[in-house]
Structures are given as C-alpha cells and as structure tokens.
A and B are shown apart, each in its own frame.
Chain A
Amino acid sequence: MDFSQLLKYAYVVYRELWQRKFLCLFGFAVISFTILVIGMYWPLKFETSATIFADNQNILKPLLSKQAAQSDVQNQAKVVRDMIHSPRILRMAIEKGYGIDSFESAESLGLEISRLRSEILVERLGDNYIKIDYSDSTSKDAYRVINSVIDVFIRTSADEQRSESRDAFLFIDNQVKQYKDQLLLAEERLKEFRSSNFDGRDIDVNASISKLRAQIEELKISLEEDRTTIISLKKQLAEESKFSSKKFKADVYSERLVGLEERKSTLLLNYTEGYPDVVSLTYQIEDIKRAMLEGAGGATEGDDGVVDEVRLNPLYQELRSRLSFIQTQIKAKDNRLIAFDALQNQEYERRKRIAERGAEESELTRDYTVTKRIYEDMLERKEKARLSMTLNIEGQGVTYRIQEPALPPLNPVGLQFVHFVVLGPILGFGGILGLAFVFVMLDQRIRFSERLDDLNVTTLAIIPHINTPFTKRIVRSDMLTCLLLGCLIMAVYIVLAYASKMELF
C-alpha cells in the first residue's frame, strides 16, 4: 500500500466517520470513560527489593578442600526461590507480618499464599548475591511483608541446615554400622571356607601335576633304554659263547708254538739239528702244528672242554653281571612308574575338588570385596558428614545475610491513574479510528471507483463528492456541534479525573 493509496483510504475512513459522527463521538466517550473508570480502580503497585548474600566462601574451605560437602553456588537462587515459595515459609511470614489470626479461613490464607508466591520474585545477581523483589498495593504492606519473608527465610534456613546436616550424619553413621556388620560377616565366611579347604590353590596343583608328568616321561624313556640294552646284551652273550671257544684253543696252541720255536732257535745257536733236544723240539712243533690244523678242521671235538673254557672267559662274566644289574633296575623303575601314576591321579582328583569349590570361594571373595569397598566409602562419607555437621553447627556452612535491606517504597510503579487519564482519550480516538479502518477494509461495499474496472462495463463518469453552499452550512453547523460535544465530553472527563485524583468520592 503506497502513500497515495493510504491517503485514499484515509479519506474514505474520514467520510465513514463523518457519516456516523455522533455514534463515533459516543464510542469515543464510552472508551475514554471506561478507561478512566478502569484507572480509578486499578490497584497501585509498590515495589521493594532486598538483596541477600549467600555466604559459602568461609575460612575453612581451603583447609577442607573436598572433604566437606557444600551446597552448589550455581543453584543458590533456585534453592532460595524454592524455599521462599514454600507454603510453610510463606505461612510463617504471613503470621509474622499480619499476625497469627489475620486470616480466618484456610481458603483465604491459601489465596494470600498463592498471591505472595506470584508477587515474590527471586533472581540471582552475581555469584553469591540474590535479589528478592516484592510488590504490594501499599507501600507499608510491601515493606512489612518483604521484611517478614526475609526474616523468616533466614532463620528457617539456618535451623533447617543444622538439622539437615545432623540428620545426614546420623543416617550415614547408621549406614556405616550396618556395612561394618556385613563386612565382618563376609570376612567370617571367607575365613571359614578357607579353613575347611586344604587342597590348596589351583596353581599349586597344576605345578605339581606338570612336575610329575615330566618325571614319568623321563622314567619311561630310561626304561625304554634299559630294555634295548638287555636285548643287545642277550644277543651278544649268545654269539660270544660259540665263537670264543675256538679262538681260545687256537690262541693257546699258537702261544706254545711260539714258545717252542723260540727255544729251538735258541738251541740252534749252540747246537746242530741233530741235537736231541733240538730233534725233540722239532717233533713237538710238528705235533702242535698238526693239532692246530686239526683244531681248525674239526670244530666239534670234546664239548665239555669247551664249556669249561667259556666259563672261564672274563668278558662273558662281565656281560652276565651287567645284564642281571639292568634287569634289577628295570624292575625298580617299573615300580616307580606305578607310584608316579598313582600320585598323578591323586593330583587330578585334587584339582577337580579345587575347581568345584572355586566358584564358592570367588563368590565369597567378591562379597567381601564389595562390602569392604562400600564400607570404606561410607566411612569417608561419614567423616565428611561429621565435618559438615560441625560446620553448620558452628555457623560456617552456607549462611544467608541481608546485604541490602528493603526500603519502604516511596512511589508506585507500573500503570498509575495519570497514565489512564492520558490513555483514555488517546485510546478512544485510536480505537474509533482503528474500528473505522477495519470496517472499511472488511466491508464488501464499493468505496473505490477502481473496483468497477473489472466489471467489463465502461465507467462513464466519476462524480466527486460535492458540497453546495447549503450543505457546507450544514457541515459547518454539524462540525460545530461535534466540537462542542467533544469539548463537553472532555470537560466532563477532566472534571471526573480531577475529582477522582483528589479522592472526592
């Protein structure tokens, strides 16, 4: 909508208003006077505020660090708001401010409490400063109520904190005792279990089993060795017996032959061949040579003699003694193996038993560990609670102090009577104008010749609104009447407003 169109609208609105000038004047009067009457009965609002300081930065804090639990600063405003808005505090404040029997019925008291709750605003100013606003219809009431509310709040909060931390301490103390009992019980159970169980631990059994197993393996290998030795010894003994008898005879003959030939050659040094001794020796040598040949040719000749010779063989003797020694050893080792097997089986049994009882033991241990941890935690908390309690009793916890006391408000805030007096005619005029504008916008009747353009019929002429001197006279007199009426309305309005201001009625 550009400016020219707006002007056109304004003109149309003006015409509509002029057409209904007396109705408009009446409407204007009704709106203005309604607002004036509203202004007369509009409650005054006096606002006052106090600032309280939530002190939790005390000298003990750095000393205690995390040991004592202290309220969170961030939530101070919320805590204060919740506390002040609680019906208990408000009721106490009302009783203090207005007197105990000021409200007869519970209903009116409830209404007053909810009114206070909506009027009291709590906001956080800085880190520790909390502002409390309150507004009431009179300055006196505002001052009285805010003072009693803050007073009750500070007193109650101190009392409450003390009792709260004492309760907390008592509670935790009680809990600690309970957990201690539980811990002792768990300890007892664990001890009992361990004393009734000798199998030792899993890890011990496993070690001994592996040791036994290694020993058994070793034993088995040495047994195998021994058995192989026996077989080879036996084989050697069997072969040696035959072979050694022949060789032995041959050796004896060749030894005598060597001896005889030595003597013959010695004798030949001094004697001739015909020397009897030499001849005898030659015969003897020939005999031996013959015997040797015979021995080599006919093997089995006189067995008895052979056996005797064998028995006399030292190698054979050695072999025999070794064989019997090893055979004894094998027997001993076999016995040891059996003993080891038995031991191993025992260990296996033991391990099974340990596994069976292991679940029970771990449960008991867990029980014990958990209870112990909680108990220790509780113990720590108990100490914290004790400190907190001591702090609160000594007045070193979070305390509230009045930083900025409330002052009795001098002037009301918000809309006042004079605003209504001024607003009345403005809203009356604006309202009528707005209504007329809305009427022109919404009314379907044709007020602009442009609307005829889309009818597909030529608009032959647009006749302007004309005022003949005669109608001009009428308009002038109407205008005068309107002006007079308007002045009258305003005069009555001002008189009424003035009278109300001076509280004449």
Chain B
Amino acid sequence: MKEINKINTIYKASVSDSKEVESQVGGPLRSHSEIKRMGEVDSFSSEEMDRLKIIGSGVQNSKVLNIFRELRTQLIQKSKKSNFVCMVSSICHGGGASYVASNLAAAFALDKTKTSMLIDTNLYAPSLEKLIIGDTMAGITDYLSDSSISIKDVVYATGIPRLRVIPIGGNSEGAAEYFSSEKMLNFVEEVKSRYSDRYIFIDAPPITISSEARILADIIDMVVLVIPHGRVTHEQVVAAIEIVGQEKLSGLVYNN
C-alpha cells in the first residue's frame, strides 16, 4: 500500500480528473483515432512498469512480453475474434491470478486498436489499486450495493494506455450476494457490449476456495486458471477444472 500511495503522490500533480477522463469515453464504436484521443493520465515509466511487474513495450524482459502476447493471440482465437469477458482465477491465495490478469489486460492494451478493462473481485487480496494513478473513491462493490453510483464513477484510468481498472471498492460485505445479483449480470453485459474493442478481465479470488469466483464463473465468457509453482497438487487442479467446467475453461497458465 505504501508503494501505491507513493506512486499516487508522485503523479497526483499531473493527473487530470479521472471522472472527467471517463466521461470522454463513450459511444459503442470507436475509430482508431478516437481511441487515440482517449483521455489518458501520464503513463508509467518503464522502471515503474518493472516494479509493478506489468509488461509494456519498454520493459526489459521481452521474453515475458512475448509470452503474454502469445497468450493474447490464443485467447482471441478462442473467442472467435469478438470481445469477451475473461475471468482469471487461481487455485490458492497468492497464486498469481492478479499478475496474470493485469498483464493480460496490459497485453491487450498494447494493441492500439483494442482497449482492456480490469475488474478486481478479489475481496481477500485486492491488488489492482496500485495501477490507478490518483485516489480511488468507489469500486465495484460500492456500485453494486449503492444505486446512486454509476458505472462511470468506478472506472479509473491507469498508468498504462488503453487500460481501465475497476477496483474492489470499500463495501466488501456480502459481496457474494452482490456478484450473483441481476445488477452484476447487467453490469458485465453493459461493459462488454459498450465497446466492441474492449476486452474485460476479472481478477477473481481462488476458485476452489471462494464462492464468489464460482458465482462469477457463470456470468463470464471464459476462464483462465493460473497454476502456481509448487503450491497446489494435481488433485486440486483437477478439482478446479471440474468446478469451472470444460466449456468455459480456455486453458491453464503455469506460473513459475
């Protein structure tokens, strides 16, 4: 959290009002130039990206960059070229789902014709706020529980171009119920259908442990399971695959 605050203070001066930025983002179809004109806050430097373990065109480790690009290609192929909602979940806490989700989103955002959105639903270990430059007011749980908050209020720009983040927010009690509500379904539908070039990634808690992830699995298009190195047994992986079901599971990612 210290790091995030530090980043936030560094960039505070140069950041324009995030809500203002978001208000400019609108319309079902956007041309390349429109996307280019998306209101952006200042980008992270490559050192910042390295520290946050986020890939970018300037990062040192091009091997990882290529791996995520390859992963992006595979997912696009599986979705038959339309945009999709993808849940990234792991099998245990700290399994690297957030890392994979944010990098996947960053990889999609690298493509200048695409935008991506990260939704943090990991109530146990929310981690996406560090990507947001500036203060966060509300998150997805606030939106689901409070009808006075609109989608615009919870979408934040990040230090990565074309990548938006919806943090977890402050109202995490009864989140499982919110996620299974009609509103959540509508919300997902809306963010997906709003822009056809937008790819949505949900950073979910471990699927074998939390009920939230299982609920979310019903409303999304595909699931990527992250298998952490040396943390889970073969049986646990089999159990997780069974929970997700073969038709929604697009594949496994082994995280060293």
Contacts and interface: CB of A to CB of B under 8 A. Distances in A.
Interface of A: 12, 15-16, 443-447, 449, 451-452, 455, 457-466, 468-470
A465 to B, nearest CB: 4
Nearest to B54: A468
Contacts of B70: 461
Contact of B252 (A447, A455, A466): A455
| Interchain residue pairs A-B with the least CB separation, the first 6 | A460-B251, A465-B256, A449-B254, A458-B251, A444-B233, A461-B71
B50 A451 contact: no
Contacts of A466: 53, 61, 64
B223 to A, nearest CB: 11
A455 B238 contact: yes
A445 B68 contact: no
A21 to B, nearest CB: 15
Given A452-B252, A459-B254, A461-B70, A447 B230 contact: yes
Nearest to B3: A470
Given A463-B256, A468-B50, 8 more contacts: A446-B233, A446-B234, A457-B225, A457-B249, A460-B75, A462-B67, A462-B254, A463-B100
B47 A469 contact: yes
Contacts of A445: 230-233
B241 A15 contact: no
A464 B256 CA distance: 5
Given A463-B67, A468-B53, A446 B253 contact: no
A468 to B, nearest CB: 5
Contact of A460 (B96, B235, B253): B253
B127 interface: no
A465 B229 contact: yes
A183 to B, nearest CB: 94
A449 B246 CA distance: 20
19 contacts: A15-B229, A15-B230, A444-B233, A445-B233, A446-B229, A446-B232, A446-B237, A447-B230, A452-B252, A455-B238, A457-B251, A457-B252, A458-B251, A461-B74, A461-B253, A464-B63, A465-B256, A468-B50, A469-B60
A461 B68 contact: yes
B255 interface: yes
A461 B241 CA distance: 16
Interface in B72-102: 74-75, 96, 100
B37 interface: no
B191 to A, nearest CB: 23
B50 A469 contact: yes
A43 to B, nearest CB: 45
Nearest to A440: B230
Contact of A459 (B61, B75, B253): B253
B253 A470 contact: no
A299 B147 CA distance: 201
B202 interface: no
| Most chain B beta-carbon contacts within 10 A, residue among A449, A465, A469 | A449
A264 B100 CA distance: 199
A443 B60 CA distance: 34
Nearest to B241: A457
Contacts of B32: none
Contacts of B131: none
A379 B130 CA distance: 116
Contacts of A446: 227, 229-234, 237
Interface string B209-239: 0000000000000001101011111110110
A463 B70 CA distance: 11
Contact of A470 (B51, B63, B254, B256): B51
| Most chain A beta-carbon contacts within 10 A, residue among B229, B233, B237, B246 | B229
Given A16-B230, A446-B229, A452-B254, A460 B71 contact: yes
Contacts of A469: 47, 50-51, 60
| Most chain A beta-carbon contacts within 10 A, residue among B100, B250, B254 | B254
A364 B246 CA distance: 109
Nearest to A451: B234
A460 B224 contact: yes
Nearest to A16: B230
A458 B253 CA distance: 9
Nearest to A463: B255
Contacts of B47: 469
Interface string B132-153: 0000000000000000000000
Contacts of A465: 229, 256
A399 to B, nearest CB: 75
Nearest to B233: A444
Nearest to B53: A468
A460 B237 contact: no
Contact of A464 (B64, B74, B232): B64
Contacts of B224: 460
Contacts of B75: 460
Contact of B227 (A443, A452, A458): A452
Contacts of A16: 230
A430 to B, nearest CB: 22
B14 to A, nearest CB: 23
B241 A463 contact: no
A134 to B, nearest CB: 56
